[in-house]
């Protein structure tokens, strides 16, 4: 809790209003320009004008101008407390606490009775960490108005902040004698006694509350917490069980019991308490979500907790079927565990009630993409684009799935739209232009394809996917092979031992009729797992044929046909035992 925070808005507002009034002595207000007999009539007028203009700039938020004008006013009348106070406020607003402190001290020097100046300087001391200087200021304010409980309360907090806990307790005792027993005062004293390592005194305070308000069972929870902190587990458990006996529908006690049993090693009772909490309709959804968030992290480290977490999620959703957040958390768990269809169901139910949740659209589209439901992805992303027309990610989902459906016209149109609205996100822009490059290549719009790949590389020069694809398509067309080799070499440097990337480099050498280097790189591709790829094995055969090893070439062509994924000419090569290009 901030020590002076409850006063800040008050004295700033009053200060602004007072500063706009005509110059006159007003000791009771935070800041009001006062005339002095030492000034000439012209000086008084000049001072009043500058003070008014500075106050106007302050209200308008023109802080540098306000600081300059208050400083000018002080040069005319250096003993004016209101001007020093206002300058202090401006420095504080501008982030210069040291100058704010100096001006605040000057304000009090020239007006020792103004409580607002003292409260303001106390706030500055708090900001600068000079807590030892706060107490004299707040004590002076409290002593000036001893029956004001706000000042007494603030003084108690000042004592607490500076470690003078006994003094703070005395003030709360005094307030209690004036205003009666209250939860606020007892809670403050309980916290102070615990910091003083006097738990028995803290227990006395809570028992006093329980006697004063016997129907308020939450105080038993306070008492149980103290017992737990002191290692008095049996006493803590008795208090929790008493709460359950008095109010079995109490929303929070089951969480406390769950934590108690977890700490004392009774896992089954801990989980049972959580089950009761999750099934309790009176328990706030936020509390349940906090517990499940901790489960989400813990179950990644301790997988044996996953089953419990899923059960608790299900109970929460059954108890709060209307809660979108509950379903999202459950959906996240299901997705993480690979239960795609069940996760999808949770996210779909959220969107049935509320289509405005961006993250749910994104999660649902991610799932449909992973399930390769490309038609559904296009349908969903089209709807999402209507709802979120300035969100590029939905254009990307639509474009990529349209490519998978070989609807390249729609893919190009959507990808271009997404690329146009992507600003300040280089990786995403690179992804758009990479996909455009693939789509243009598929429709034999090679000039546009090359331009798109080059744009993608301008956004992400180390994108290995783009480097390899661009290089490979150039090699297939036997165009700009030097550029292709440059691109392929970089992709292999960035991601070595990738059979596909190695095959691309081999094929570029092949197209350049450098069969010796082609053989070197195709062997590297084979060694890196290329024997599982029909394309790579077929390329190996082609290179062998060029090197005059026709029998070996035929063996590799046959293997490529068995693997699948070879070119349409593989049968001609095998049947004719000759290279067909």
Rounded CA-CA distance 553/539 in Å is 9
Q: What is the pLDDT of residue 462?
A: 97
pLDDT at residue 16, as a whole number: 33
Rounded-to-integer distance, Cα 565 and Cα 542, Å: 15
Q: Give the domain ranges of the chain.
A: 473-581
CB 572 within 8 Å of CB 580 = yes
- pLDDT on residue 188: 86
Q: Give CA 285 to chain center in angstroms.
A: 20
Per CATH, the number for 473-581 is 1.25.40.10
Q: What is the Cα–Cα distance from 530 to 536, expressed in whole angstroms?
A: 6
Distance CA 580, CA 575 (A): 11
Distance between alpha carbon 223 and the CA centroid of its chain, in Å? 35
The DSSP secondary structure of 155-175, one letter per residue, reads HHHHHHHTT-HHHHHHHHHHH
Q: How far is CA 576 from CA 206, 555, 558, in A?
A: 96, 13, 12
Rounded distance, CA 47 to CA 325, Å? 59
Cα-Cα end-to-end distance for the chain: 79
User: CA-based angle 46:47:49, to the nearest 5?
Assistant: 65
**How many whole angstroms separate alpha carbon 367 and alpha carbon 339?**
10
Contact assessment for residue 472 and residue 453, using Cβ atoms and an 8 Å cutoff: no
Cα–Cα distance between 24 and 38 in angstroms, integer? 15
Nearest residue to 79 via CA among 115, 24, 36 = 36
Which one, of 224, 234, 226, lies nearest residue 254 by Cα? 224
Please give the Cα distance from 453 to 476 (Å, whole number): 16
Residues constituting the chain: 581
Cβ neighbours around 276 below 10 Å, total = 19
CB atoms within 10 A of CB 502: 28
Q: pTM score, two decimals?
A: 0.65
pLDDT of 95: 87
pLDDT string in tens for the chain (581-residue length)? 333 333 322 333 233 323 333 333 334 456 656 545 578 989 999 999 999 999 999 999 898 999 999 999 999 999 999 999 999 999 998 889 899 999 999 999 999 889 899 888 988 988 888 877 888 888 888 888 877 888 888 888 888 888 889 988 998 888 888 888 888 888 888 889 889 899 889 888 888 888 888 877 788 888 888 888 888 888 888 988 888 888 888 878 888 888 888 888 898 999 999 999 999 998 889 989 998 998 898 898 889 889 999 999 999 999 999 999 999 999 999 999 999 999 999 999 999 999 999 999 999 999 999 999 999 999 999 999 999 999 999 999 999 999 999 999 999 999 999 999 999 999 999 999 999 999 999 999 999 999 999 999 999 999 999 999 999 999 999 999 999 999 999 999 999 999 999 999 999 999 999 999 999 999 999 999 999 999 999 999 999 999 999 999 999 999 999 999 999 999 999 999 999 98
Cα–Cα distance measured from residue 109 to residue 117, given in angstroms and rounded to the nearest whole number? 10
Structure tokens at 236: 């803590």
Cα–Cα distance, 34 to 27 (Å, whole number): 9
């Amino acid at each position: 809790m901030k020590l002076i925070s409850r006063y800040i808005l008050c004295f700033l507002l009053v200060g602004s209003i007072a500063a706009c009034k005509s110059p006159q002595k007003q000791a009771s207000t935070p800041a009001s320009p006062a005339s002095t007999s030492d000034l000439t009539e012209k000086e008084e007028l000049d001072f009043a004008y500058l003070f008014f203009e500075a106050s106007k700039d302050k209200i308008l938020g023109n802080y540098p101008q306000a600081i300059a004008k208050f400083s000018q006013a002080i040069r005319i009348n250096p003993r004016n407390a209101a001007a020093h106070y206002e300058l202090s406020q401006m420095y504080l607003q501008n982030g210069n606490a040291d100058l704010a402190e100096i001006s605040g001290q000057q304000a009090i020097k020239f007006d020792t009775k103004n409580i607002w100046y003292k409260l303001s300087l106390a706030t500055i001391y708090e900001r600068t960490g000079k807590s030892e200087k706060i107490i004299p200021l707040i004590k002076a304010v409290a002593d000036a108005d001893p029956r004001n409980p706000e000042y007494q309360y603030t003084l108690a907090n000042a004592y607490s902040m500076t470690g003078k806990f006994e003094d703070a307790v005395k003030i709360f005792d005094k307030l209690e004698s004036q205003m009666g027993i209250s939860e606020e005062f007892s809670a403050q004293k309980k916290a102070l006694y615990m910091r003083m390592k006097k738990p028995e005194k803290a227990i006395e305070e809570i028992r006093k509350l329980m006697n004063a308000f016997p129907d308020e069972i939450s105080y038993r929870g306070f008492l149980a917490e103290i017992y737990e902190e002191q290692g008095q587990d049996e006493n803590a458990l008795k208090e929790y069980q008493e709460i359950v006996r008095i109010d079995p529908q109490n929303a929070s006690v089951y969480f406390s019991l769950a934590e108690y049993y977890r700490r004392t090693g009774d896992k089954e009772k801990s989980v049972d308490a959580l089950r009761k909490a999750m099934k309790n309709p009176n328990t706030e959804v936020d509390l349940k979500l906090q517990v499940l968030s901790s489960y989400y992290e813990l179950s990644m480290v301790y997988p044996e907790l996953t089953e419990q977490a899923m059960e608790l999620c299900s109970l929460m959703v059954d108890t709060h079927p209307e809660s979108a957040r509950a379903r999202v958390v459950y959906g996240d768990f299901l997705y993480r565990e690979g239960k795609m269809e069940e996760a999808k169901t949770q996210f779909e139910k959220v969107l049935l009630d509320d289509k405005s949740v961006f993250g749910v659209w994104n999660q649902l589209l991610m799932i449909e993409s992973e399930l390769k439901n490309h038609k559904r992805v296009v349908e969903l992303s089209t709807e999402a684009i209507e709802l979120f027309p300035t969100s590029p990610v939905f254009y990307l989902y639509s474009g990529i799935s349209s490519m998978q459906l070989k609807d390249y016209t729609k893919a190009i149109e959507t990808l271009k739209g997404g690329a146009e609205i992507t600003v300040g996100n280089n990786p995403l822009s690179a992804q758009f232009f990479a996909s455009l490059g693939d789509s243009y290549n598929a429709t034999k719009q090679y000039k546009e394809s090359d331009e798109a790949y080059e744009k993608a590389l301008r956004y992400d020069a180390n994108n290995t996917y783009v480097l390899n694809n661009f290089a490979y398509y150039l090699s297939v067309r036997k165009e700009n092979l030097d550029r292709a080799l440059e691109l392929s070499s970089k992709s292999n440097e960035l991601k070595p031992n990738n059979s596909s990337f190695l095959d691309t480099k081999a094929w570029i050498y092949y197209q350049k009729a450098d069969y010796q280097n082609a053989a070197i790189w195709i062997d590297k591709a084979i060694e890196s797992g290329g024997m599982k790829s029909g394309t790579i094995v077929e390329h190996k055969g082609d290179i062998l044929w060029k090197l005059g090893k026709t029998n070996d070439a035929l063996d590799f062509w046959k293997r490529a046909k068995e693997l699948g994924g070879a070119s349409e000419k593989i049968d001609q090569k095998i049947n004719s035992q000759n290279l067909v290009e």
